[in-house]
Each structure stands twice: as structure tokens, then as C-alpha cells.
Amino acid sequence: MARLGEIAPRERAGADTGKRYEYQYQQTARAALTLLDDEQKHICVYCDWHDDYVIEVGDPPTRYVFHQVKSRSSSQGPWSFAAFFGVKKKVAVQVAKKAPTVTADAIAPLMLRHHRNFADDCLSVAFVTNAGVNEDLEEFLLRLGQAPTLAELSGEARICFDHIARAYMGAEEPLTKSADDLFAWMRGITIFKDQGNITNDTIALLEIGMQVEEFSEIPLLQSESLMIARQLVGRVRAKATHNATVIPASEATLRADKGIQVDDILKVLSLSQAGYAALKRGVPRDTVKTLSRLQRWCRENDLEDVVAQVCRFKADWRIWRTIERHFILTANYVLLVHRAKAILLGGYDMTRMLQEATAIAEEFSKHVGTPLTAEGVLGLLFSLVTDTEEPPEAEGML
């Protein structure tokens, strides 16, 4: 077994060629956003290191998913079986006397070398492209995935596999020592087709911007999400073009030099550390946005130490409002909201806010069946801070 920083990549000059690598950077940026999805357990995305990008996955000891990214013009059509595996598809049962030769620029052989180099640390390999793939290629990979063992692979798929295995094992630099290993590796190949746009950078960035908006704590204009997408691609580009890493490199060094981590994403997204932590706990994104606005308001008013109590106050208000929503007169409700807004405008500290809320609660409790507490009034106040308080019409208070 070997770690990612212990083996020098096969080539490191690719990132210097300029614009034709923009598609690679954009796809890496999209992958980097998955760091915010805690279900996937993505730890780091390495940029242009051993492959176009590598995702580090799981709990220690982590493993790697290597991604090769290739764009293709529409005039070239979908990827063929031969272009992907480096040998033509074989359907005849007869075995040729001479092993087939593998095309030098084929996709799969380059990806499968990661299994040989990194052993069990290589979890799987993936191919990312803007184009489609031919049906025979998709069908073959589907059949591989459906067969639990090589012995259970049959028919045309088995003929194709044996043909590929003979070519790969007979190459000047064999890709594998056994057909069973090759079968296990090939079953783990994933193809992401029809990804991104290579003809229009703005459209490509807008697609990234749509992902950004999913994680943003605040509503974003399209121009804002587009700007964030550009910043994220720029961060990827800077990591990809960094070429001063010395081998062997520690994991900390490699992550710093070539990796994108959660902190890098948070620096360019409108997402705070607290908001990200809430997402990790499974809190809905709408709640995260609300909490973020509340935290910002508390910070601006020197009330950061009472955020937890504030959340409890809001819960108290929600309970009271649910009970009284059909009984309180609309005029009284509007007046209650107006009085709460006046406290906000006063710029008071928490002690004064509590005093004002107590007086309001005593006054309005005379007009309702369920007594209103000072905590409930403060809950209304903080609901107004986060723009979650609905107008009387929405609550049915007519």
C-alpha cells in the first residue's frame, strides 16, 4: 500500500497549457462542492495530482477515488469502446494467436494503473466527460457491475473481458497480475457523462453557481453566484498549477499544496462555519439560512453569547402563536408585531429588551386565552430579525 504523497505523478506539466484545461478546473470545482455533503464523507479534493482530480474519502485510513477528465467536441461523437479500453470490442469466441495491442492514449489503462500503484488505498476510478458514451460500452460496464464474480460473467461480456484482460496482462508494462484483480478493478469504474459545457464558459460557470446556491445561507443573485463560481474555479486553478511539491510529501503538505478542503470552500461561499456545522448535523438548509441571519444580527449587536437562548425564545413564540393564531384579533396581532419591531429599533441590550418584552407580554395577555410570556415576545422579536414572521393573512388571522 502507498499514500498519495509517496509516489511522483506520471506527468506534471499538463496544468501549464492554459485554456484547454478550464474544463478540468470547472469539473474539479464541482467535485469540491461535494465536500459540503457530509453523507459522502469527502475529505479533500486534490487538483491535477496523479489524475485530473482525486477525491479523498472516508474515515482514517482514508482512500482515494481517481477522476480522469476529458472533453470532446460534438463533432467527435460519443466515446467508443475502443477509445475507452484501448482495444476493439471482440464478439468472436476464437482467440487470436497474438495478444491485442493497447492503444497508447486509451482511457481505462491510465486509470487502472492507480489500482496497481496504490493497492487498497485506491477505492475506485472514474471518468468525467462532457460527451456521451456508446451503448456497447455502457452495456459492457453494466454487465460487469451485475456479475458478483468473474466466474459469473458470461456471454458476450465475458468474451469482451477476456480480450481486454489478455491485452492488459500481455502489455510491455502489465496493468495487472491476474484476471480476477482486473475484473474487481473494472467493476469499480464509474462514468459521469454529459457533464459541463466546453463551448461557453459562462454557462459552465452558471452550472457551478447553481450548486453554490444550494449551499448558500443567503439568497444570491445570479451575478453573485457566478462570481463565487469564478472564485472557486480560480482556487482550483491555483492548486492545480502549483508545481513545487517535493516527493515524498506528508499528507498535511500535500493537502496544503494541491488539495481543496472544506475551509477553502467556506472562504468563497456565503456559508459560515456555524452554518456548515448545522448542515453536518442534518439541519435543513432553510434553517441554516435563518440561523445564519440570526447569528449575524446577534454579533452586530454584541449578543453572540445568547444565541442558544434566542433559539429557545423563538420556539416559545411558535408554540404560543400556533395556539392563539385563530383567536387573536388581527388588529391586536399587528400591534404586537409593531411593538416588537420598536424594541429592535431601540438598539437595547438584552436586559432592557427583557424588560420591554415583559411589559408587552403583561399587556397582551389580557386579550388572549393563553398567557404570553416575555420569552415569547422575544421569540417574536428574533423571528422578525430572521424574516421568518409571516403576515397575519398567511396565518389565517382574519
- Radius of gyration (C-alpha) of the chain in whole angstroms: 29
Cβ(93)–Cβ(159) under 8 Å? yes
Q: Which three cell numbers stand for residue 75?
A: 463533432
Per the model's pLDDT, the better-predicted residue between 264 and 69 turns out to be 69
- Percent of the chain at pLDDT exceeding 90: 49
3-class DSSP assignment, residue 133: strand
How much of the chain, in percent, has pLDDT values that exceed 70? 88
pTM: 0.71
What confidence category does residue 80 fall into, taking pLDDT thresholds of 50, 70 and 90? very high
Range name among 14-28, 139-153, 368-382 with the lowest pLDDT average: 14-28
The Cα–Cα gap between 74 and 60 comes to 42
Domain coordinates in residue numbering, the chain: 4-268, 286-395
> How confident is the model at residue 292, as a pLDDT?
67
Reported residue count of the chain is 398
Q: How confident is the model at residue 71 (pLDDT cuts 50, 70, 90)?
A: very high
pLDDT in tens, 322-349: 788 777 888 888 899 999 888 888 878 8
127-131, 196-200, 236-240: least confidently modelled range? 196-200
- The three state secondary structure string of 7-57 is CCCCCCCHHHCCHHHHHHHHHHHHHHHHHHCHHHCEEEEEECCCCCEEEEE
β-bridge mates for residue 64, sequence order: 56, 122
Summarised one tens digit per residue, pLDDT across range 155-176 is 999 999 999 999 999 888 888 8
State the pLDDT at residue 353. Answer: 87
Average predicted confidence (pLDDT) for the chain: 86
pLDDT for position 91 = 79
Q: What's the pLDDT band for 136 if we cut at 50, 70, 90?
A: very high
The pLDDT value recorded for residue 323 is 81
Is the CB of residue 212 less than 8 Å from the CB of residue 232? yes
Query: What band does 397 get if pLDDT is binned at 50, 70 and 90?
Result: very low
Minimum mean pLDDT among 195-204, 222-231, 265-274, 382-391: which range?
382-391
**386 — pLDDT class (breaks 50, 70, 90):** low
Lowest-confidence range among 257-261, 300-304, 375-379?
300-304
> For position 213, what pLDDT does the model report?
85
Chain center to CA of 184: 27
Q: What is the mean pLDDT of residues 36-53?
A: 92
**Cβ(79)–Cβ(134) below 8 Å:** yes
Cell of 179: 484476471
Return the H-helix or E-strand segment holding 190: strand 189-192
Range 116-127 average pLDDT: 95
**Cell numbers placing 82:** 475502443
Which of the two residues, 215 and 106, has the higher pLDDT score?
A: 106
Specify the DSSP element, H or E, that contains 123.
strand 122-129
Q: Are strands 42-47 and 259-260 parallel, antiparallel or unpaired?
A: antiparallel
Q: Is the pLDDT of residue 394 over 60?
A: no
Q: What is the pLDDT of residues 7-40, one digit of tens each?
A: 888 765 544 455 568 999 999 999 999 998 877 8
The mean per-residue pLDDT over the stretch 88-105 comes to: 84
Q: Exposure of 72 by Cβ count < 10 A (0-12 exposed, 13-18 middle, 19+ buried)?
A: middle
